[in-house]
Amino acid sequence: MNAQRFYKNKLALSILYILLISLLIVGCKGNLINRDHQPTAKIKESNHSDLVDETNDITGKLKIHFLDVGQADCILIEEPTGHNMLIDAGNNGDADFIYSYLKEYNIKQLDYAIGTHPHEDHIGSLDMIINNFEVKNVIMPDVPKSTQTFGEVIQAIANKELLNTIVSVGQEFSLGQSKFTILAPNSNEYDDTNDYSIVIKLQYGNNTFVFTGDAETKSEHEMVASGMDLSADLLKVGHHGSGTSTIAEFLYEVNPKYAVISVGTGNKYGHPDDIIMNRLKIHEVEVYRTDEVGTIIASSDGTNITIDKNASVIDVNTAPEEQTKKIEKIEITEIDKKAEYVVISNKSGVDVDLTGWKVVSVNGSQTFIFPSFVLKAGQNVKVAGYGAKNTGDIIWEEGKGIWNNIKDDPGELYDKKGKLIDRY
């Protein structure tokens, strides 16, 4: 009896042991399977290098349509494998135009419809889009508004039993062969609704595009400070070219070859701002404006970007060589070591953005960096040391004795990129 019980117990133990092992194996496998099948939307730090490796399989051309919706935004992204996305949907009055445009290009479904922020010139016809096209995902920032336009969009979302997807910075989404990453908003609360704008970076092969909505200075500063890779071949200029967006630091980080400004002819805001146009010119960006050329189409094969030939390049890029040379005529015209000031002159016929430029006292080893500042054509600016005899237009910094009065102390002027412009 005892021996029988002993063997029974041993058998039971063995079965238990085998069961446990099996469970462990199945459990491990289960984990591995789950890990391999994470959803496409995932939180990711700013590491885009792994995306670059995925260029081999790119087939066909990605088309980005910047629809001419006047003083508003509406961007259609057409992926060659049949995946589409819409970023903003113009004003309420643009519904018919946007509808026919999408029909013309045989767009039936949109993987994503993004309303960058709840202003009418961005979500005006978003309700029409949701009501008439097969929209799979709606993405808008979490900023409810009491406007009729916003109410109509929310109603359309509800009617289609969709949900507004709230996204966070660093999140990635795939769109056919392309991917896009959320760059902004980086905060939960802003004074300005524009700063809630969802900013995305789209990658197709080796080509990259940054779409900014109406993000302004605050959001741009946050994006720069975040350390994310903002670089892009093409930038959709923020807030229709307003002077309150496209700060020099942001533009420097994005460092685009092309820029598109979606803006209305003769708009009451004076968009795009001269300062921004000049800033783009200084950065040698090829600028396309919807008010000048109408709808703009940028095509990418994953390596090269071509802009629709009907779209024409603005003056700056087609200007004769002598005109483009003019922008480099910034000189140091005077240094008074006793009175502690330096005069910088714009001897060209165009305004020059000196933001981020540097004046260096070579032997004194002191550097002045220009704050946000534009030197008008033909004008001078006097930068004086703090407490200097002659007050300047701009004060260098606290403390005296910038220039070395005994030894020879040349002054040097460097542009934003660190290129030596002049030595005095």
By CB under 5 A, name the binding residues for Zn ion: 121, 214
Give the shortest CB-73-to-Zn ion separation in angstroms. Answer: 6
What are the phi and psi torsion angles at 143 (to 5°)? -130, 90
Residue placing its CB nearer to Zn ion in the complex, 216 or 415: 216
Shortest spacing between CB 374 and Zn ion, in angstroms:
23
**62 or 287: CB nearest Zn ion:** 287
Comparing CB distances to Zn ion, the nearer of 214 and 351 is 214
Q: How far is the CB of 197 from Zn ion (least distance, A)?
A: 9
| Burial readout 116-146 (b: 16 or more C-beta within 10 A, e: otherwise) | bbbbbbbbbbbbbbbebbebebbbbbebebe
Give backbone dihedrals phi and psi of 405, rounded to 5 degrees, phi first.
-75, -20
Residue number, 115 or 205, with CB nearest to Zn ion:
115
Query: Nearer Cβ to Zn ion, position 120 or 393?
Result: 120
> Rounded distance, CA 201 to CA 196, Å?
16
**∠ CA(353), CA(250), CA(373), 5° rounding?**
25
Comparing CB distances to Zn ion, the nearer of 116 and 355 is 116
C-beta of 355: minimal distance to Zn ion in Å?
24
In the complex, least distance from residue 121 CB atom to Zn ion, rounded to whole angstroms = 4
CB 113 within 8 A of CB 86: yes
CA-to-CA distance for 120 and 72, rounded, in angstroms?
8
Nearest-approach distance from CB 258 to Zn ion, in angstroms: 20
65, 310 contact by CB (below 8 A): no
Among candidates 332, 326, 328, 329, which has minimal Cα distance to 412? Answer: 332
Residue with tokens 């919807």: 290
CB of 117 to Zn ion, least distance (A): 8
Q: What is the nearest approach in angstroms of Zn ion to the Cβ of residue 404?
A: 51
By the 8 A CB rule, do 115 and 125 touch?
A: no
Q: How far is the CB of 65 from Zn ion (least distance, A)?
A: 18
Give the chain's length.
Answer: 424
Amino acid identity for residue 249 in this structure: E
Handedness of CA 337, 352, 233, 273 (dihedral sign): positive
Q: Is 82 or 270 the residue whose CB approaches Zn ion more closely?
A: 270
CB environment 231-244: b (16+ within 10 A), e (fewer): ebbbbbbbbbbbbb
Residue 416: CB minimum distance to Zn ion, A: 27
Q: For the chain, give me the number of helices (H) and strands (E)? A: 12, 25
Tell me whether residue 73 or residue 152 sits nearer to Zn ion (CB atom): 73
Cis omega (within 30 of 0) on the bond before 185? Answer: yes
Residue 121 vs 273, nearer CB to Zn ion: 121
Contact assessment for residue 364 and residue 403, using Cβ atoms and an 8 Å cutoff = yes
Q: With respect to Zn ion, which residue has the nearer C-beta, 123 or 277?
A: 123
Amino acid (1-letter code) at residue 191: D
Rounded Cα distance, 339 and 128, in Å: 66
